[in-house]
Every structure is written in structure tokens, then in C-alpha cells.
Amino acid sequence: MKQKLFNASLTLIFSILFLSVFSQSADPVLLQVANEKITKNEFIKVFEKNNIKSEKPDNKALEEYLDLFTNFRLKVTEAEVLGMDTVKSFRDELGGYRKQLAQPYLSDNQATDKMIQEAYEHKKYDVRASQILVRVERLAPAADTLTAWNKIMQLRKRILKGEDFGKVAMDGSEDPSAKDRTAEGRTIKGNRGDLGFFTAFDMVYPFEEAVYNSKVGEVSMPVRTDFGYHLIKVTAKAPAIGKVQLAYIMQIYPAKATLDDSLRVADSANLAYKLLQTGSDFADVAKKFSDDASTAGKGGVLPWFGVNRLLPDFTLNIQKMKQKGDYSEPFQTIYGWFIIKLVDQKLIGSFDEEKEDIKQRIPRSDRNADVLNAFVAKTKSTYGFTQNLKALDELAKTVTDSIFVASWKAEQAAGLNKDLFSIGTKTYSQSDLAKHLASTQRREQKRDIPAFVYQQYNSFVNDAVNKYADSQLEAENPEFKSLINEYHDGILLFDLTDKKVWSKAVKDSVGLEQFYEKNKNNYMWETRLDASIFTVKDPGIVKNLKKLLKKGTPDEQVLSNFNVDTVQKVTVEHKKFAKGDNTNIDALVWKPGISDLITMADTTNAIIVVHKVVAPEPKLLNEIRGAMTADYQNFLEKEWIAELRSKYPVIVNREVFNSIVTQ
């Protein structure tokens, strides 16, 4: 509830917020609230920021705004005097907003824009590539890394000397999918390193970057990723197919298929194709011929897929299709024969259309590391960064394998307190890193200790650099400082106003009742008619109904006489009607009595009994609780403002104010 009220009131709050700027000698003080002095230019800036009218404001508008602004500053002053800006809930809430507001400032916008543009250029094309992988851990010992490097280079030499890339992949790649393998009683042919088609965000970023920077047919130098070293050969590049929805007819090979089985499957696929060519509906042919029972009854229609979810042969056939409704010739895959139809397609949009989606995906991808590293490098350059790697080597010598079972103690580095690095005015020591290593250690695979420590050090440095940049935001960015001040004052204003006015008016039932008693004559009903409208669903009972009504029979007794066994022949609405509530009531002569049978607007019949004419009277509290609560809040607000104005001095320099009006 608090969050909803806060959000709803932000517009009002921000419309009167004080913009923090330094006073200048040529800028006279316009307003003093308690000990706070607001200059002429400060007031003009905040007024112009929130003045939605383009015409020059008159004296009345400025006076009203000055009064509103003064009340706002009084409330914030009171909140600060009460210490509301020191309580944990306030600090946590402001901290949460600050964290969100700081994010755009803690990023290298140029690096982000460059990454977005690059990703878009990649998305415009689908690429097909083959790889040979030699696995090595990112933090593997130098000897293991060198061994992996030598192995991948030997494989590359074989390819450059003329050996087929696919054959070398089957011989030497450590990607299991490259080789033939047995699974579930059947032999699965290896892909010989062929990864099929893919596009931006489908692969880890270093791999993707290398692919899009390679020419078709070239064999790359080894590319390092978290998986190891890769040799990459781009085999095709074509305009992106985007997202596609296909329908297919699948003729699948049986397990342990013989040559006769293969021929039979091919013949069946060709027969289906001939039917399509002679005008048969694709859905009907799919229902009759497709081996995929889950889609055959739906015309063979599949969900939407991107290029990385499709077999290469599917993509190659889609690339040939010119428009929706086109279908392929039968084609063979390792699974069987297929005929596909292009049902729908979403091509890659313009840069402006794709930009926001790419921007949202970058923080969730490994691309983000490059963006963050760019910001760290920029921050280091801005504030000055120095490091002592010899001190890091000293610390690394104290780290043992116990860190991989989460039992290393920072005390093992006792006595090491040399400066390790500094950013701006902040310096970190060997001891600081030792404590970080101890607090973040966890059970994990044993790795090369120097490489592990260096990685942890880099992570620690990056975090420290980001924290330092964050700590300088208010000093370096006046607009950010102003924004935080707005949230600071806005939260205080909300919390105190809620306590003094909004929640108090809702919870203070005694005060509300007292306010009602003093002001109820301001909430009067006009003359009303106390009447009962009997709606008659069975015309045959009208005569008997009138007899009962003339006797003054109570409404409940009338209903019980006619409504038997849950069959409602008569319904009644009894209330005090004001003018405009009911057209049939308005049409009556307002005096006690019983009307003739009336045909209502919905064609039902009714009889109206007028009990009495009710003279004007105050509305009951329960009838106007919402409006009364709102007025009570306004009353509490005025009383509170009067109290604050008597508690804190308010001084307006009229000469300065008049100069604003006349300028």
C-alpha cells in the first residue's frame, strides 16, 4: 500500500522539489525556512522545471507556488529534526532507489552502444561453422595450457597441409558430438565438427566474435573460451532467416534401418511430394504421411524456431523459399526424409526496432563482461590506478590447496600488509585481499593456485573500482546528486505526511467522528422519497399484490406471500430516492400512496409504494466516509502546516520576490 501511495504522489512531490545548487554572491536569498536559505535562482529553476505552462507566470501563480514550496520545505525540515532520515527503513529505501538510479552512471555508454551495434550486425546474418575443440580449464596450470595449445596447433597444421577439416575433427576434437557414438541402442553419426547455423547470442561471445570476423573457408587461429581452445572454419554465411514457423512431413528411418528400409522411406516422401505438386493440401498430406504423430493431426505445424534450433538442411531449404506457403522438395537427413513448408516468418527488423531487445539481452550474456571491463578501464584512467603485482605474488605463496575445500585461513597471510593497489584516494592492502579470499572461498575443483589467486585479485579489483566510482557519483554528477536529493526529500515527505495526515485520517475514528459532527451540515441530502419499487414478473398477481399493499403489508411479508419454492414472482427495492436516482420515481407526484402498474424501461412491470417524503437531512458518516476522510485529511494538513509555520521561522524577501515577478 505504501509503495502504491508513494508512486502515486511522486508527481506532486517532484513538482515542488528543491534543486541543490551552490549559491553565488550575485544570487540573493529569496526564502529562509528554519536555517535553510533558498536563493532566487534556486527557486526560479525549480519553478521553471515544473511549470507546465509556456506563458509567463503571473504574480498569483508565483505566490501559490512559493506557498506550496515553503510548505514542502517545512515538512522536510520537520522530518529531519525528528531524525526520520537516520532510521534503517529510510536508509534502506533510499539506498534501493539510489542503486537503481546509479546503474546508468556506472556503465561505459560508448562500449555499450558499440556492443549493441555489433550484435545487430551479427543478427543480420546466419553463419554455419565447424569447430575442433581441445579442452583446457580457464585457470589451468601453465603447463596444461601449453599442452593444449600445442595440440590444437598440430591439428591446425594438418588442415593447412590439406587434410579434410571434418576428418581432423573426428580424429582430434574433444567435442563428443564430432565423433560417431552409440546411444539408446543406435549409432549416431558424428557431426565432424559441424555446428550448423547460428546467429548472435547463440554461442559464447568470444566464439561468436571469431566466427563473424572470419572469412568463409578460412581456418582460424586457436580461439580461447571457458571451454578451451577452438579451431573454427566458417562454411557458410547468409542473410538471417529470423524466426520461422514451419510445417513438416517427416518420414523417419526405423531403428537399425536396412537399405530396403531407407529406400521405402525415400519412396514414401517422394509420393507425398507428388501429391503436393498435384494440388493436395499440405495439412492433409501431413496427416496421412507424417511419422510425427504429435503434429500430423495439426497439419504438421511446429512451434516458432530460431536458426540455431534447426537442422542445417532445414535452414538451407528455408533460405530458398521466397514467401509464406512455399514448400521444399523432399530432403534427406540423418533422421530420415522431410518436406517442410514455410508457414510464417519474422525477419530481423531495423536497428531501431531491434536495439532495445539487444540492449536487454547484453547484461544477461557473457558480452556484459566486455562492457563492465570497459567501464573499469575508464574509471581507472579517470581516477588513477596503481598496483603492486610483487605484493600479489607474495600473498599467492601463502595460499594452499585448502582454499579449494573452503578451509584456508586469512591468518596464513599474517604480517602481509603491503599496499596492493589504489584507486583514487582509496588503497587496498594484501590483508584486504586475504580477507576477501577467505570470505569467498568455496568447495571447488583444484586449480593452479597462482592463476586462481590472480583471477580472484582481478575480481576484487573490479569490485573495488566500481565501488569507488559509485562513491564519487554525487561529487562528479550534479544531476545525479539532485536526483538523489529529490528522492531523499520525497521519501521523507511521504513518510511524515502519511503519519501526520493520510494514515491518521484513516485510523483516527474518534477524530473523524468529531470532525463529522462539526461539519455534517455541509453534507446534506436534498428532499428524498422513501419508496418501495415492487417488480412484478407474473401479471396475474397484480390485483392481489395491490390489495396487500393497500393494507400496509410489510415488504418482507409481501414477498413471502408470492415467492414460493424459490420461484420469484415479485422483487422489491426499498430505499430513499433522490431526484435523478430513478426515472419512474422522478415521474411520480411526491406524496404517500400507491402507483398504478408501471411499465419499466426493461419492459418489466412495477408498482411503486411511496411511504413518505423525507425532508433534507445530513448524510450519515457511513454514506460519505470516503469524502469525509478526504476532507478530514485536508483539515489535518492545514492544522499541521499552521503548526509548522509557528514552530519554524519563514522569511520571504519581498523585494527579491517582486524582482522575479517583474523580470
Cell of 331: 530432403
Q: Are 306 and 221 in contact (CB under 8 A)?
A: no
Give residues with Cβ within 8 angstroms of 339, minimum separation 6: 248, 249, 269, 272, 273, 276, 327, 328, 329, 330, 331
Q: Are 608 and 532 in contact (CB under 8 A)?
A: yes
pLDDT value for 416: 95
Q: Under DSSP, is residue 128 helix (H, G, I), strand (E, B) or coil?
A: strand
What is the 8-class DSSP label of residue 500? I
Give residues with Cβ within 8 angstroms of 373, minimum separation 6: 462
Q: What is the pLDDT of residues 278-336, one digit of tens each?
A: 999 999 999 999 999 999 999 999 999 999 999 999 999 999 999 999 999 999 998 89
Q: What residues are paired with 536 via a beta bridge? A: 570, 605
Tell me how far apart the alpha carbons of residues 145 and 152 are, in angstroms, rounded to a whole number. 11
pLDDT value for 538: 82
Distance in Å from the first CA to the final CA of the chain? 44
Give the closest residue to 165 by CA, choosing from 90, 91, 216, 97. Answer: 216
Residue in this structure with the C-alpha cell 565447424, named with its chain if needed: 130
Tell me how far apart the alpha carbons of residues 23 and 17 are, in angstroms, rounded to a whole number. 17
pLDDT value for 21: 35
Cell of 618: 445530513
Q: What is the pLDDT of residues 339-389, one digit of tens each?
A: 999 999 999 999 999 999 999 999 999 999 999 999 999 999 999 999 999
pLDDT value for 261: 84
Tell me how far apart the alpha carbons of residues 317 and 341 are, in angstroms, rounded to a whole number. 10
Tell me how far apart the alpha carbons of residues 392 and 428 are, in angstroms, rounded to a whole number. 11
pLDDT value for 5: 44
pLDDT value for 262: 87
Q: Under DSSP, is residue 343 helix (H, G, I), strand (E, B) or coil?
A: strand
| pLDDT classification of 54: cutoffs 50, 70, 90 | low
| pLDDT classification of 52: cutoffs 50, 70, 90 | low
What is the 8-class DSSP label of residue 330? P
Tell me how far apart the alpha carbons of residues 178 and 244 are, in angstroms, rounded to a whole number. 27
DSSP E strands, 537-587: 570-577
| pLDDT classification of 10: cutoffs 50, 70, 90 | very low
- Is the model more confident about 278 or about 7? 278
Task: Go through the chain and tell me how many residues it has.
Answer: 663
Q: Under DSSP, is residue 416 helix (H, G, I), strand (E, B) or coil?
A: coil
Q: Where are the alpha helices (DSSP H) in 82-188?
A: 88-102, 109-123, 142-160, 165-172
Tell me how far apart the alpha carbons of residues 219 and 145 are, in angstroms, rounded to a whole number. 21
Tell me how far apart the alpha carbons of residues 306 and 323 are, in angstroms, rounded to a whole number. 17
Task: Give CA separation, 342 vs 128, 273, 279, 425, 511, in Å.
Answer: 21, 15, 17, 62, 71
**In order of start, what are the domains of the chain with their CATH numbers?**
125-239 (3.10.50.40), 243-347 (3.10.50.40), 384-473 (no CATH), 524-618 (3.10.50)
pLDDT value for 51: 72
pLDDT value for 628: 94
Cell of 500: 501526520
pLDDT value for 349: 96
Task: Give CA separation, 126 vs 60, 216, 225, in Å.
Answer: 65, 12, 21
Residue 116 CB coordination number (10 Å): 21
* Burial group, residue 193, by CB count within 10 angstroms (0-12, 13-18, 19+): buried
Cell of 456: 580472484
Residue 14 has pLDDT above 60, yes or no: no
pLDDT value for 334: 87
CA 79 to chain centroid: 33
Q: What is the pLDDT of residues 440-463, one digit of tens each?
A: 999 999 989 999 999 999 999 999
Residue 183 CB coordination number (10 Å): 7
Q: What residues are paired with 224 via a beta bridge? A: 229
Q: What is the pLDDT of residues 176-191, one digit of tens each?
A: 999 998 776 667 889 9
pLDDT value for 185: 63
Q: Are 224 and 206 in contact (CB under 8 A)?
A: yes
Cell of 170: 573426428
| pLDDT classification of 8: cutoffs 50, 70, 90 | very low
Task: Give CA separation, 209 vs 121, 212, 213, 306, in Å.
Answer: 11, 5, 6, 19
Residue 434 has pLDDT above 90, yes or no: yes
Mean predicted lDDT score pLDDT of the chain? 91
Cell of 306: 530460431
Q: What are phi and psi of 559, to 5 degrees?
A: -65, -40
pLDDT value for 487: 95
Residue 11 has pLDDT above 70, yes or no: no
Residue 470 has pLDDT above 90, yes or no: yes
Long-range contacts of 627-631 (CB under 8 A, 24+ apart): 627/523, 628/512, 628/515, 628/516, 628/519, 628/523, 629/505, 629/506, 629/512, 631/515, 631/519
Tell me how far apart the alpha carbons of residues 627 and 433 are, in angstroms, rounded to a whole number. 62
Q: What is the pLDDT of residues 559-580, one digit of tens each?
A: 988 888 777 889 999 999 999 9
Q: What is the pLDDT of residues 481-535, one digit of tens each?
A: 989 999 999 999 999 999 999 998 989 999 999 999 999 999 999 999 999 999 9
pLDDT value for 114: 95
Q: What is the pLDDT of residues 117-173, one digit of tens each?
A: 999 999 999 999 999 999 999 888 889 999 999 999 999 999 999 999 999 999 999
pLDDT value for 47: 87
Tell me how far apart the alpha carbons of residues 483 and 20 are, in angstroms, rounded to a whole number. 9
Q: What one-letter code names the amino acid at 254?
A: P
Tell me how far apart the alpha carbons of residues 45 and 219 are, in angstroms, rounded to a whole number. 62
Task: Give CA separation, 497 vs 500, 508, 512, in Å.
Answer: 5, 15, 17
Residue 255 has pLDDT above 80, yes or no: no
Q: Of the ranges 5-14, 436-445, 473-482, 648-657, which one carries the lowest mean pLDDT score? A: 5-14
**Summary count for the chain: helices (H), strands (E):** 26, 23
| pLDDT classification of 48: cutoffs 50, 70, 90 | confident
Q: What is the pLDDT of residues 390-399, one digit of tens each?
A: 999 999 999 9
